[in-house]
Amino acid sequence: MRRTKIVATVGPATTSPESMRQLLAAGTDVVRLNAAHADMQTHSNNARQVRELAQLLGRTVGVLVDLPGPKIRSGVVLGDAVELATGQEFMLTDRDDGKGDALHVATTLPDLAHWARHGDDIYLADGEIVLRVLESVGNDVRTEVVRGGMLRSRKGMHLPRAEGHVEPFTARDARALEMAIAAKVDFVGLSFVRRAEDVERVRSKLPKRGLRPALVPKIETAMAVDNLAGIINAADAVMVARGDLGIQMPARRVPLLQKEIIRLCNLAGKPVITATQMLESMTRSPLPTRAEVNDVANAVLDGTDALMLSEETAVGLFPNEAVRMMSEVAESAEGWPRQRVDPAASVGADSDRVAWAVAHAAVQAAEDLGVAAILCPTRSGDTAHRVAAFRPTVPIAGISHGMPVLGGLSLVWGVQPLLIAENADRGEQLRLSIAAARAAGIVRDGDLVALVFGSAGPRAGSTDSVRIVRV
């Protein structure tokens, strides 16, 4: 059974009910909706469709809405793609006429000319195309193409001089966040986070009561790397966004940064997603390159909780094949022994120490006794989170009556979310948990199981007990 989770981005290739059903059936654990593309109503409809299809398939599938952030983008290109040749001149304009071509394209940065200086490099298509500034002409900027390539509509644009001065949470982000909250999504991705305060600012805008979406800051700026510890502490989960990170700093640094970010997230007990170009060749080919297979496997060996597909499933020709390939590679890599981290050793909050110690004891007891599975009845998801952080060799079931809780567990390494009926009686809750695990095929009659739970009743976050029982 694969423990590493797969996040798949939905786009034109996978938005129809049948194509989305196939994407989920192929093994997608979390669907990503990119708010930088399409309108909020479309994303809201897609979120609802994911829920409905997951229910039909008898699965729990999480929904992640990725806020657009202040990312600068190019405008619409006629025919959706145009080839820029090295050495040609190319004009950037702040007037989006929707008719970009081989000679010009709009940008979303209204004061582009203010930030562009003669000799500056501007990166288009997330770094694939490089322009060099020749001069400003009014509000437009005339450039020379120093590295050509294919430019598609609304691709990322990087102006190093401007990016440190742009607000990380925009009015567009606020609208997307409102949609995400209304749609009851499980995760919200935060783009171009620079410091912990950026995460807390968004958290202050979430509802004060009830279950709220988990916040997933994306590490994709040099400043975020400098403030990494604080961001991880403020986050519910973290994404290693390697594309923009590889533009913000030398690409050679990204592999080691990936390992360090994953290590720190593992120690903090925070889920971490590794993203960008993982199987990019499968956008056009039914098979990945050997280098891509190695990349996916190494992310798993690094300790990532989840792997993310972007264009592969949003606009690719082989979205389902990409999910299945990633699943096969991840499961294979999971068979390789790796050093276990000890999140409990780094937890600073006194209020968490009992819960972390109980989770650690449960994993140790489970492996010493050869139990079939660790069952975590939970009202908040925290118990399953903590158990998973120790990377046990036996299956983990996160069991709850609340679908939002189960959705939040869809990103967590090794956790299979299971639904049970609401019941305030502790004994009945444990009985229902065992029955759900048996129905899911996780345990069989005669197996030993470890139950990890809170004896304090309905209060969330009260994990303090481990019980070993024979089914």
The answer to whether residue 218 is catalytic is yes
pLDDT of residue 457: 54
User: Domain 72-163 maps to which CATH number in 3.40.50.970, 2.40.33.10, 1.20.1250.20, 2.130.10.10?
Assistant: 2.40.33.10
Burial of 142 (0-12, 13-18, 19+ CB in 10 A): middle
Provide CATH 2.40.33.10 ranges for the chain: 72-163
The answer to whether residue 5 is catalytic is no
At which residue do the structure tokens 């809170």 appear? 454
Q: Is the dihedral of CA 105, 310, 179, 52 positive or negative?
A: positive
Per-residue CA distances from 312 to 23, 184, 309, 317 (Å): 11, 26, 6, 8
The pLDDT tens digits for 453-464 are 987 654 555 789
The answer to whether residue 32 is catalytic is yes
Exposed e or buried b per residue across 364-392, where buried means at least 16 C-beta atoms within 10 angstroms of its C-beta? ebbeeeebbbbbbbbbbbbbbbbbbbbbb
Cα 273 from Cα 240, distance rounded (Å): 6
How far separated are the first and last CA of the chain, in Å rounded? 21
pTM of the entire structure?
Answer: 0.89
Task: Single out the catalytic residue among 5, 195, 218, 379.
Answer: 218
CA atoms within 13 A on the CB side of 308: 27
pLDDT of residue 282: 98
DSSP 288: -
Within 10 A of 17 (CB to CB), how many other CB atoms are there?
Answer: 10
Cα 3 from Cα 412, distance rounded (Å): 9
Task: Single out the catalytic residue among 32, 195, 242, 379.
Answer: 32
pLDDT of residue 349: 46
The pLDDT tens digits for 106-163 are 998 878 888 889 999 999 987 889 999 999 998 899 999 999 999 988 888 888 777 6
User: Domain 5-68+167-333 maps to which CATH number in 1.20.1250.20, 3.40.640.10, 3.40.50.300, 3.20.20.60?
Assistant: 3.20.20.60
Per-residue CA distances from 30 to 8, 51, 186, 205, 408 (Å): 6, 11, 9, 23, 10
Residue 428, token pair as written in the block: 């009945």
Provide CATH 3.40.1380.20 ranges for the chain: 343-470
CATH classification (class only), 343-470? alpha beta
pLDDT of residue 230: 97
272 close to 306: Cβ distance less than 8 angstroms:
yes
The answer to whether residue 426 is catalytic is no
106 close to 116: Cβ distance less than 8 angstroms:
no
Mean pLDDT by 10 residues, the chain (471 residues): 97 96 98 90 94 96 94 87 96 85 90 89 89 93 96 85 76 93 96 94 91 94 94 97 89 96 95 97 97 98 97 97 98 88 62 84 94 95 94 96 95 97 86 96 96 73 87 92
Within 10 A of 449 (CB to CB), how many other CB atoms are there?
Answer: 26
Provide CATH 3.20.20.60 ranges for the chain: 5-68+167-333
358 close to 463: Cβ distance less than 8 angstroms:
yes
Task: Single out the catalytic residue among 9, 276, 304, 313.
Answer: 276
For residue 217, which phi and psi values (nearest 5 degrees)? Answer: -65, 140
